[in-house]
Amino acid sequence: MEHKQIHVLVTPLDWGLGHATRCIPIIRALLERGCRVSIASSGQPLQLLKEEFPKLIFFELASYQPRYVATGSLIRSLLAQIPKFINAIWNEKRQVKNLIREYKINAIISDNRYGCYNPSVKSIFVTHQLSILLSSRFGWLAGIANQMNQWMISRFDQCWIPDLPDHMLSGDLSKPLNEKCRMVGVLSRFEKKEVQEKEKKKWKVLAVVSGPEPQRSLFETILREQLIPLNEPSLLVKGLPGDSSISPTSDNLHEVNYLNASRLQAALLSAEFVVCRSGYSSVMDLAMVGQQNCIMVPTPGQPEQEYLADKLNAERIVFSVAQNDFNLNMAMQSVISRKGFTLPASQPLLQVAVDDLLNAIHHG
């Protein structure tokens, strides 16, 4: 069987854009090997990947439709949505079974979609969060949540962890459960490039908004209110796939709904300061380009982002601050003393994992 005859279905979760963006290097690796690739997701992640890979085939999957609260307990809100999430998992499992039969799919690579597996084909689960963190108030739930998480992951043939073997970026989140788990390196939509000195001066601040509503919009408003009086050339990327034209909001602030991978990387490389969430995909993107002067604002009540922000702040890589305490001028002064991101020499971990998968399909 030639690689071009192998049909791989890639299914990123629809919670924010990060699961979709970190699937981009996986999709590229499959296409480079001549595979046929289809993508199944929902909402904005599906739209983002359509814009990155317009020639591929796309399918609509059941949406998890998570809703984050503006105030109050996020964990309590998510617990109340569990029936909806379970229903989405069952629906996507049924949809994937039909897609396998109708389109002769040979493998599934699922980024955090627990229902996107099938025993008749090779099924890969992609996650950096093998340990689920909960706030101390709900710490009693952590054991139950982790047992359930491990059981659902165990139904897949392998678990790919997007980090380096020393857990450089993900820390305690990604300690492997068993021999099915393998590190596949930093998965970023960006590529390492030499930075021209003149590129560093275009934007004083690049602010990137991401994540589910209503926190995405709340963060956008906070940033806009502080960027305009800064009176320095700044760009606000709102994380809304669709229109990609940059337009002025004020004399110094420009805004854009969405930038594709190459344009966003160029904006990052030309910014003196970067403000963003501490989602893991954002962390990997910033690490890939060796970003300096990073200010991270975790989504309120999201323990994973709070852990990553605290970890990177303690390591003096970034400066992190809670959303309620965010002050742009103070953050810009504080981040100057941070060392920024650096990655060791690249390792072909993803390429080897993809080759192993395709060889297993050949010999299966």
Same domain, 182 and 254: no
In the numeric block, which tokens belong to residue 183? 């590190």
| 17-61 pLDDT per residue, tens | 889 999 999 999 999 999 999 999 998 899 999 999 999 999 999
Residue 340 belongs to some domain of the structure: no
- What would the mean pLDDT of 10-23 be, rounded to a whole number? 91
Domain range for 156 = 3-186+346-362
Residue 164 belongs to some domain of the structure: yes
Supply the CATH number for residue 171's domain: 3.40.50.2000
Whether the per-residue pLDDT at 332 is higher than 80: the answer is yes
Residue 63 belongs to some domain of the structure: yes
CB-CB neighbours of 141 under 10 Å: 14
Residue 341 belongs to some domain of the structure: no
Same domain, 118 and 210: no
Q: How far apart are CA 97 and CA 119, in angstroms?
A: 10
Residue 305 belongs to some domain of the structure: yes
pLDDT of residue 167: 85
Residue 191 belongs to some domain of the structure: no
Same domain, 226 and 119: no
Give 49-57's long-range contacts (Cβ < 8 A, gap of 24+): 49/12, 49/20, 49/23, 49/24, 51/241, 51/258, 51/260, 52/24, 52/27, 52/189, 52/260, 52/261, 53/27, 56/27, 57/103
Same domain, 206 and 284: yes
pLDDT of residue 23: 97
pLDDT level of residue 158 (50, 70, 90 thresholds): very high
Residue 31 belongs to some domain of the structure: yes
Same domain, 248 and 299: yes
Please state the pTM of the whole predicted model: 0.89
Residue 56 belongs to some domain of the structure: yes
Same domain, 37 and 180: yes
Give the angle 190-14-108 at the CA atoms, nearest 5°: 80
pLDDT of residue 134: 59
pLDDT of residue 68: 64
Q: How many domains does the chain have?
A: 2
Same domain, 105 and 250: no
pLDDT level of residue 303 (50, 70, 90 thresholds): confident
Same domain, 179 and 231: no
- What would the mean pLDDT of 160-165 be, rounded to a whole number? 94
pLDDT of residue 198: 47
Same domain, 29 and 176: yes
Same domain, 124 and 266: no
Same domain, 37 and 171: yes
Same domain, 207 and 137: no
